[in-house]
């Protein structure tokens, strides 16, 4: 009985960790980049190469088309944002790494 509970607890923890790791894959729509880390829901680091990025991001001109992961529309106010993000200068402090792409078709999770 005790081992069954231990196995169940481990499965739940591993599922929770996996779910936390995928949160950046859900970021889409209206995005506000804040200068204050305390206001942000997530922080990101900009990778020079797409090979090392967790997420490829394409900036959409219209919020209507920012409808899947990696398609972002920049807004000027946090009140209009679906997500508030902070750009980290140090890779180790960021929740995820991204690379900005010019191609809409490759935007999304890696």
What CA–CA distance (Å, rounded) separates 50 from 24?
Answer: 15
Is 96's pLDDT higher than 70? yes
- What does the buried/exposed string (b/e) look like for 42-80 if buried means 16 or more CB atoms within 10 Å of the residue's CB? ebbbebeeeeebbbbbbebeebeebeebbbbbebeeeee
Domain map of the chain by residue range? 2-109
- pTM of the predicted protein model: 0.79
**7-48 pLDDT tens trace:** 444 444 444 444 455 789 999 999 999 999 999 999 999 999
Separation CA 100–CA 102 (nearest Å) = 7
């Amino acid at each position: 009985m005790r081992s069954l509970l231990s196995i169940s607890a481990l499965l739940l923890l591993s599922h929770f960790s996996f779910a936390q790791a995928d949160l950046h894959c859900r970021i889409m729509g209206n995005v506000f980049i804040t200068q204050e880390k305390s206001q942000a829901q997530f922080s990101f680091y900009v990778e020079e190469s797409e090979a090392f990025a967790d997420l490829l991001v394409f900036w959409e001109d219209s919020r209507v088309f920012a409808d899947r992961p990696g398609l972002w529309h920049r807004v000027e106010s946090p009140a209009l944002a679906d997500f508030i993000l902070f750009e980290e200068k140090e890779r180790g402090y960021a929740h995820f790494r991204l690379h900005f792409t010019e191609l809409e078709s490759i935007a999304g999770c890696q």
